[in-house]
Structure 1
């Protein structure tokens, strides 16, 4: 289904204040698989003072974007493929798109939605490059910033090529953009553009003429809802997963965890199992709750193999470690497998422990194993729910999504566009209240969503929106 649209008041290309001196950046084995994925679409909703002229806000954001691109020259570049098939980001100052859209008949409340948690369709019109594949960065802007003026606020939506950056890099850019907008002369966290790790490979990804195609149906019916979990609710869930009575005083571990796979001699994917850590983390507990609830709602045959797929940050897993602000994709998609019958008949702790085992398994050696497997068979990332039994967790509650202020205070809400959404796709956001609260953006087939909403084990931990 096509996204709704709003009148475009102006559109232009914004180039950096200074000419870029950064050379071409070769795409890595974590970047290249994303060429078949949609552009990342994330943005923030703000209220603004009623006496702030929109013309001043647009001018501020446009000039601030130009200054911010000085620190992120790849976002003003284009993708290029050389004669040998290697793909690069050429930092040629071609510019980023800047679009001003009229949403003056829409209020902040209209974009937040009702207490049901369902995400309003209007949110989709707050982003450019709807359903644009990252391969198209060869001839389209790598970054598009859409500013949608509202009756009582603004929505700043960024669409960024997913082969160029992951969530860590995205939010570093977004927050740097906010810093420049509120008057800082330079950003506080400078990205690292090095290309000297094991992720840079001599392998060539061969693509069909005209580029790859998206690997999932964009027309299948889905519902999109935000489920909110307070810190207290998550601590109770963690205690349940750890079989502990009462509250837990341990520090929150909000990282993502998953297990890797390898190809055995018969060519089958086999889970890599390792000993579990002593304590099941908050996020593992929450993922286990979700895995069980969705599997029950899908009413799968007991023998059906389910997969809980997660994207993990590899920056700190490699040896030597990548810089925390390494620019690009430094993620790997890894999965935990279990029969549907085991997922729904075992207790929460069992599911959480399966995820917990992967923490020790996914170390630097496993990151390198993933790279080696990809080099044997270079391919784009097969995003989607191919057999109706997959749950895919993306984004992270550790991302600093609310740590930005363009001059009007912190965001009221953070939302995403239509990009890369299919039955079973979940994105984890920090709750606006902070302190360990988490919001889950859940995309499911309508009948599965209805089943999850009526699941007492799942809903007892959800707080009202």
Structure 2
């Protein structure tokens, strides 16, 4: 029996409701070092699955309200309605990238349908591949923002649900900015339902003031003649994706165990969970004793800068922290030993380390390429359980689940979300080869920490 396909019914473009709020006479936004380095990475693709109310003409009304509230939201997040433009010179070769917020179509809005149910999406042990079709711009890289929208929204109507999927160009924003946009959109949508959408106080007004080191002035000129010199289109191997749920109680036990084994109280809950994941995936891979393996944590730089950047800073401000050891040493030591190594790395990450990276980048600019960014036997933990995922409501109550698209996935990628019930629980989306996933699912230490969850809530 063949799997039903997602059918695109309609699409349109949505512009900011108040275009007069755009900056400067040329309505140009500059990209920083953090942004530019992401040009060859995939779009961020995250979304929420809601139960569909049993109301007459509900979807037509929902689409109209989503478009109107999106237009109002884009007035605050105006770069998302723009496009990339490039200014090039041949002698000397330079390649400067900007965001043009003027004379663009705006954000793309797609309405699609799928003859499947919420149960069809959430019941399987592994995330069904059809979920990737809930997001527009499949396999697009950020540099494609020259000709493709920086923000495509796709609303997929299921038999009994609605999936709201958002693809956001990762060269213009990181996860913190992504969820600030999503939270603001939800807030304006709810105010719209109450009839006062035109006078909504935005809780976390985005700050559109790109940060550059003192000795650097935009635009940044890259030493390239053509984008073929740095754009790389990564194709993920065959992967299994699974959501593993960890209750607050289970995580508390891991934290207590890690701190006890390291004779400390400083190791955090997430560091303890990350240590478990790294050790367990390494065991599942059955690596030789001397094989090097690493665990990378994607950290938010905002609070670590000197002076700090506000959490509302719009753009990219992230850094990959790495801990490396041999597979044998990792597996033969205990959870506390691993968690302490992660803790020390996180504790030592500061503004000075960020500035050193930026200075080295300025001397020799490079663009991250997903296929070469991480070693074959690493584990990468991205996103954050601190993001306010389940506060987003669009007239359908609390979402029943969060899911992601194809973008930026590979063997060893782990994406973290807050657990649906809150209270410090965490959901991890783990991507592994089929063989390694089967081995992980048979790992006694790992599975004993995994908590059962009701997929239908």
Fold match by TM threshold 0.5: yes
- Residue 143 (structure 2) aligns with: 135
Q: Secondary structure at the match of 2:95?
A: coil
Q: CA RMSD in A?
A: 2.1
CA 1:303–1:200 in structure 2 vs 1: closer, same or farther (change >3 Å)?
farther
Shift of 1:21: 2.1
Partner-residue secondary structure (3-state), 1:405: coil
Alignment of 1:235-250 (within 5 A): 235-243=252-260
Rate the CA distance shift 1:59–1:449 in 2: closer, same or farther, 3 A: same
Q: How does 1:29-40 map to 2 (within 5 A)?
A: 29-40=33-44
The alignment partner of 2:140 has SS state of coil
Distance of aligned partners of 1:200 and 1:151 in 2 relative to their CA distance in 1, 3 Å threshold: farther
Corresponding pairs, count: 429
Aligned to 2:91: none
| Cα distance change on mapping 1:445 and 1:109 into 2, 3 Å | same
Question: Is the Cα contact below 8 Å between 1:223 and 1:445 reproduced in 2?
Answer: yes
Tell me how far 1:233 sits from its aligned partner: 0.1
Residues in 2 aligned to 1:343 and 1:462: alpha-carbon distance in whole angstroms: 21
- Secondary structure of 1:292's aligned partner: helix
Unpaired segments ≥5 residues, structure 1: 246-275
Distance 1:365 1:55, change over 3 A: same
Q: Is the 8 A contact 2:83 2:148 kept in 1?
A: yes
1:320-379 CA deviation, whole Å, 9 max, x = no partner?
111111000010122111111111011111110110111231011111111112222211
**Equivalent residue of 2:45, what SS?**
strand
Q: Matched residues in 1 for 2:221 and 2:329: separation?
A: 40
Q: TM-score, normalised by structure 2?
A: 0.89
Q: SS at the partner of 1:86?
A: strand
After TM superposition, give the deviation of residue 213 of structure 1 in Å. 3.4
Conserved? CA contact 2:321–2:346, under 8 Å: no
Mapping 1:224-235, distance limit 5 Å: 224-235=241-252
Q: Displacement, 1:79?
A: 0.9
Q: Deviations over 1:143-177 (max 9, x none)?
A: 00001111112111011100010000001111111
Distance 1:284 1:209, change over 3 A: same
Question: How far apart in 2 are the matches of 1:75 and 1:4?
Answer: 32
For the Cα contact (< 8 Å) 1:48–1:154, is it kept in 2? yes
Counterpart position of 1:153: 161
1:399 partner SS: coil
Choose the corresponding residue for 2:231, options 193, 201, 213.
213
Q: CA deviation at 1:411?
A: 0.9
SS in 2 for 1:60: helix
Query: Aligned-pair distance for 1:198?
Result: 2.5
- 2:210 is aligned, of 170, 174, 195, to 195
* Equivalent residue in structure 2 for 1:415, among 403, 406, 424: 403
**Mapped contact 2:288–2:327 kept (Cα < 8 A):** yes
How far is the alpha carbon of 1:244 from its aligned partner? 7.1
Deviation, structure 1 residue 387: 4.6
2:261–2:336: 8 Å Cα contact kept in structure 1?
Answer: no
1:110 aligns with 2:120: yes
State the alpha-carbon separation in 2 of the partners of residues 326 and 215 from structure 1.
Answer: 29
Distance 1:111 1:10, change over 3 A: same
Per-residue deviation, residues 280-307 of structure 1 (Å, max 9, x unmatched): 1000000000110011111111111111
What are the equivalent positions in structure 2 for 1:276-425 lying under 5 Å apart? 278-384=265-371, 387-425=375-413
Indicate if the aligned counterparts of 2:261 and 2:337 stay in contact, CA closer than 8 A.
no
2:399 and 2:284 map into 1 onto residues whose CA distance is 33
- Shift of the 306–208 alpha-carbon distance from structure 1 to 2, 3 Å rule, reads farther
Larger displacement relative to structure 2 (424-433 or 352-361) = 352-361
| Contact 1:79-1:87 within 8 A present in 2 as well | yes
Q: 1:101 aligns with which of 112, 128, 133?
A: 112
Please list every run of 5 or more consecutive structure 2 residues that lacks an aligned counterpart in the other structure.
89-93
Higher alpha-carbon deviation: 76-85 or 331-340: 76-85
Give the conservation status (yes or no) of the 8 Å contact 1:76–1:93: no
Shift in Å, 1:409: 1.1
In the other structure, the counterpart of 1:261 is none
Distance 1:313 1:377 in 2: 23
Instruction: Point out the structure with the larger helix share.
Output: 2
Return the alpha-carbon distance in structure 2 between the equivalents of residues 197 and 366 of structure 1.
Answer: 15
TM-score normalized by structure 1?
0.88
Three-state SS of the structure 1 residue aligned to 2:302 is: coil
